[in-house]
Amino acid sequence: MAGLSAAWELTRTRVGRETPRVIVLEAGNRVGGKVRSTEFCGRTVDLAGDAFLARRPEATQLCDELGLTGALVAPGTSGASLWVRGRLRMMPAGVNLGVPTKAWPMVRSGILSPAGLLRAAVDLVAPHRGEPQATGDRSVGDIVGSRLGHQVVERLVDPLIGGIHAGGVADLSAEATFPPLLTADRRPGSLVRALRRGPSPGGLAPPPDAAPAPVFWSLDGSAARLPAELASALAVQGVPVHTGVAVESLARRPVDDAGPTWRLTLAGDADAVPGTAGSSDSVRHLDVDAVVLAVPAGQAAGLLAGHAPLASSLLGDVEHSSVTVVTLSMAAGSVRSPLVGTGFLVPRTSTIGGRPALITGCTYLSRKWPGLARTEDELIRLSVGRHGDTRPDSLDDDELTAAAVAELGAVLDVAGRPRASMVTRWDGAFPQYRVGHLARTATIELAVAALPGVAVAGATYRGVGIPAVIGSGRTAARTVLRSLDGAAPARPGR
Ligand SMILES: Cc1cc2nc3c(=O)[nH]c(=O)nc-3n(C[C@H](O)[C@H](O)[C@H](O)COP(=O)(O)OP(=O)(O)OC[C@H]3O[C@@H](n4cnc5c(N)ncnc54)[C@H](O)[C@@H]3O)c2cc1C
């Protein structure tokens, strides 16, 4: 998404009097990277992200530019449960990324034990001086644990924020994953009150009679329609997207040469890429003025190694965690528990069937997206794996499915086996935003900015969600344009 978005931004801008000639090179055999769908039981289902945050403007703005606003669909249901203290409990009202801001809904939910509630309530009465001038980062778990106690961390904040990043909040940067928490922690007084006072998303209160705005959007058909439609729109603009072509290396061309600055060495189906030249050993080269490296951290580290050693080393140090998605078709009537909301999350400290839970969450797919509903079945998606849990690696797909289905059966009243199942492994898919992540990102960006016409983009840097990576691709495109344009601000084109 980041690379396609960078290309899109480039088609809408001029360098001097010209629109840049843009080529997208994609190592995989299809576009979209982690935004991907497939056919399952006669329907198109997303294999990774199935929705994007409505609060951030980048994805909806892109949909608007692609003429897809009419195709936006909101989930058919809302709310989620937590598997805590041996049963499913609805997430109470007023929870801000796991931090409770309303007392009574929290008390009634039963998520915290009486001792956990008392500990959290200390925040409302204990003096906290605050440090408004403080700078620097802390982990989400450290802040919430010290202010509200470990139960709020383990049962609420870790499943939500840790779930989004497939990480643990003990290590995740507050600055990068939940900036209002860091700001609230620096204010004097209660953390909960400071978060409650924070601006509403978008900064404006909705009119009192307005229907609640959706928190997430997807596209009619699947979220993966977005990269597919974007690639088609790029083709219309004359921007080819070459799949099956990997950039193997990046070399600086001689500075005294008036030609393009960079030489890319390509692998794969590179003969099809216009403008390539071959050398004696039939390696294909492509000379370009500028490059947006919209690839995961490890690949970016390799490509930058000879040019920006510090950036390369910082990128090489980014840890990643893996997630596996198990999609199930359960025969109609076989799930006898009421399916309320979009699904449930499983805190890492919860057990299922007396053992540490393998599944981290469950989406009632055909309830969340009514377009997927059929009379014959219930589509359910289980997420397995989080940072530090290596158990999924030692299980083959059948074993993993059996273990995940057994846990589902311990949470919900399920009769019989799935009609069909599908396992999708996302190895190393989630960069871990450790404490100090944004400072390291700034260092990487600064080091890369010293290379003429090069910028980095994608989930490694300033947000893992689809809107954030779209924004990062577009920002990277403007950065390379400024470099090509002699640092003049990029002007919008058509
Ligand atoms: C299971 C799962 C669930 C998710 N759920 C959501 C969700 O609900 N909502 C949400 O907003 N986000 C979600 N995300 C996160 C989001 O989908 C990703 O963070 C985002 O799509 C990453 O986009 P990207 O462009 O940065 O990277 P990628 O999608 O990883 O794209 C990078 C591309 O670079 C290509 N590439 C790599 N090396 C080279 C090379 N040398 N030459 C050429 N090409 C190369 C790769 O093939 C790949 O296509 C989820 C992710 C996963 C895995």
Amino acid at 195: L
> Do 2 and 294 meet the contact criterion of CB atoms below 8 Å apart?
yes
Tokens 């399916």 sit on residue: 339
Pocket of ligand 1, candidates 1, 24, 25, 34: which has the most ligand atoms within 8 Å of its Cβ, to mutate?
A: 34
The burial of 317, by beta-carbon neighbours within 10 Å (0-12 exposed, 13-18 middle, 19 or more buried), is given as exposed
Q: What does the pLDDT look like over 95-115, one tens digit per residue?
A: 989 999 999 999 999 999 999
Q: Is the pLDDT of residue 359 over 50?
A: yes
The helix (H) or strand (E) run that includes residue 371 is none
* Residue 316 Cα to ligand 1 middle (Å): 17
Q: Which CATH class is domain 91-197?
A: mainly alpha
> Do 474 and 9 meet the contact criterion of CB atoms below 8 Å apart?
yes
Q: Is the pLDDT of residue 37 over 50?
A: yes
Cα–Cα dist 46/217, whole Å:
13
* Residue 309 Cα to ligand 1 middle (Å): 24
326 CB within 6 A, ligand 1: no
Neighbouring C-beta atoms of residue 171, cutoff 10 Å:
19
Domain boundaries, the chain: 2-31+46-68+225-253+260-317+438-492, 91-197, 320-431
Instruction: Give the pairing of strands 377-384 and 359-363.
Output: antiparallel
Q: Is the pLDDT of residue 494 over 60?
A: no
Instruction: Give the pairing of strands 291-293 and 320-331.
Output: unpaired
pLDDT at 112: 97
Q: What does the pLDDT look like over 132-171, one tens digit per residue?
A: 888 999 999 999 999 999 999 999 999 999 999 999 999 9
* Residue 294 Cα to ligand 1 middle (Å): 9
Q: Which is the CATH superfamily of the domain at 2-31+46-68+225-253+260-317+438-492?
A: FAD/NAD(P)-binding domain (3.50.50.60)
The reply to whether 320-431 shares the fold of 2-31+46-68+225-253+260-317+438-492 is: no
Tokens 């692998």 sit on residue: 267
Cα–Cα dist 91/152, whole Å:
12
* Residue 448 Cα to ligand 1 middle (Å): 21
> Do 379 and 117 meet the contact criterion of CB atoms below 8 Å apart?
no
Q: Is the pLDDT of residue 198 over 80?
A: no
246 CB within 6 A, ligand 1: yes
Per mean pLDDT, which range of 208-212, 226-230, 351-355 is the poorest? Answer: 208-212
Neighbouring C-beta atoms of residue 292, cutoff 10 Å:
28
The helix (H) or strand (E) run that includes residue 150 is helix 150-152
pLDDT at 197: 76
What one-character-per-residue DSSP string does 233-264 give?
HHHHTT--EEETEEEEEEEEPPTT-SS-SEEE
pLDDT above 70 covers what percent of the chain? 94
* Residue 358 Cα to ligand 1 middle (Å): 24
Radius of gyration from C-alpha coordinates of the chain: 24
pLDDT band at 492 (very low <50, low <70, confident <90, very high): very low
Neighbouring C-beta atoms of residue 12, cutoff 10 Å:
16
Instruction: Output the CA torsion 179→181→183→188 (10° steps).
Output: 180
Cα–Cα dist 74/52, whole Å:
10
Cα–Cα dist 304/301, whole Å:
5
Cα–Cα dist 226/44, whole Å:
14
Q: What does the pLDDT look like over 279-315, one tens digit per residue?
A: 655 679 999 999 999 999 999 999 999 999 999 999 9
The burial of 102, by beta-carbon neighbours within 10 Å (0-12 exposed, 13-18 middle, 19 or more buried), is given as middle
- How is residue 299 written in tokens? 């690949």
* Residue 295 Cα to ligand 1 middle (Å): 8
Has this prediction a pTM greater than 0.85?
yes
| Ramachandran class of 296: left when φ > 0, alpha when ψ lies in -120 to 50, beta otherwise | beta
Neighbouring C-beta atoms of residue 122, cutoff 10 Å:
12
Atom 13 in ligand 1: which residue has the minimum CA distance?
A: 49
Tokens 């009619």 sit on residue: 220
Cα–Cα dist 123/217, whole Å:
35
Per mean pLDDT, which range of 24-38, 279-293, 365-379 is the poorest? Answer: 279-293
Q: 277 or 333: which carries more pLDDT confidence?
A: 333
Domain 320-431 belongs to what topology?
Answer: Polyamine Oxidase; Chain A, domain 2 (3.90.660)
Q: Is the pLDDT of residue 389 over 70?
A: yes
Pocket of ligand 1, candidates 245, 295, 326: which has the most ligand atoms within 8 Å of its Cβ, to mutate?
A: 295
Cα–Cα dist 402/336, whole Å:
19
Cα–Cα dist 446/307, whole Å:
13
CA 334 to chain centre: 32
323 CB within 6 A, ligand 1: yes
pLDDT band at 211 (very low <50, low <70, confident <90, very high): low
pLDDT above 90 covers what percent of the chain? 84
Cα–Cα dist 146/436, whole Å:
19
Q: What does the pLDDT look like over 401-431, one tens digit per residue?
A: 999 999 999 999 999 999 999 999 999 999 9
Cα–Cα dist 171/193, whole Å:
25
Q: Which residues face 288 on adjacent strands?
A: 262
